[in-house]
Amino acid sequence: MKARVLFFLIFASSCLLAQGVDNSNRGPINVLGNGVVDGVVLKEELPVRSKIEYEHVREADYVWSKRVFSRIDRREKINHIIFFPDDFFEPNSYVFPSSPENIDKGGWIKHQERFSLWTVIMKHIMLGDLQVFEVSDTNFTLIEDGYQFKYPIVKNGKNDFFDNPKYRNRASRKISYGSSGEPWKYEVTPEGEDDPVEVTLLRDDDNETYDAWLERLTTQGADAQKGPELYQVLKNVDQTKLRTQYDNAKGGSPVKFPDNLQYINSACITAYNIKEDWFFDKERSILDRRIISIAPVARLKPLEPEAMETDGINRFSSLIGVDRRGNLIDGKGDPYLGNVIEKELFWLYFPELRDVIVNYYTYNDNSDSQWMSFDDLFWKRKFSSTIYRVSDKFDREIEDYKYGVDALYEAERIKDDIRTWEIDVWNY
Residue of 45, 15, 21 lying closest to 33 (CA atoms): 15
Quote the pLDDT of residue 18: 40
How far does Cα 172 stand from its chain's mean position? 9
Q: What are the extents of the domains in the chain?
A: 2-37, 185-258
> What pLDDT digit, counting tens, does each position of 49-71 carry?
788 899 999 999 999 999 999 99
Quote the pLDDT of residue 311: 77
- 406 pLDDT more than 90: yes
SS3 percent helix, strand, coil of the chain, rounded to 5, is: 30, 25, 45
> What pLDDT digit, counting tens, does each position of 165-197 carry?
889 888 998 999 987 778 888 888 877 777 888
- 22 pLDDT more than 90: no
More confident of the two residues 45 and 216: 216
Terminal C-alpha separation, the chain: 64
Quote the pLDDT of residue 251: 84
- 206 pLDDT more than 90: no
Number of residues that make up the chain: 428
> What pLDDT digit, counting tens, does each position of 258-294 carry?
777 889 999 999 999 999 999 999 999 889 999 999 9
Can you tell me the distance from the alpha carbon of 95 to that of 176, in angstroms, rounded to the nearest whole number?
Answer: 11
Residue 319, φ and ψ in degrees, nearest 5: -65, 140
Residue of 4, 7, 105, 84 lying closest to 374 (CA atoms): 84
pTM of the model: 0.79
Please report which confidence band the pLDDT of residue 105 belongs to, taking 50, 70 and 90 as the band edges: confident
- 389 pLDDT more than 90: yes
Quote the pLDDT of residue 7: 43
86-105 average pLDDT score: 83
Can you tell me the distance from the alpha carbon of 314 to that of 382, in angstroms, rounded to the nearest whole number?
Answer: 33
13-41 average pLDDT score: 58
- 426 pLDDT more than 50: yes
384-395 average pLDDT score: 93
DSSP assignment of 151-189 equals -B---SSTTHHHH-HHHHHHHHTTSEEEEPPPB-EEEE-
Residue 401's beta-bridge partner residues? none
Question: ω before 85 within 30° of 0 (cis)?
Answer: yes
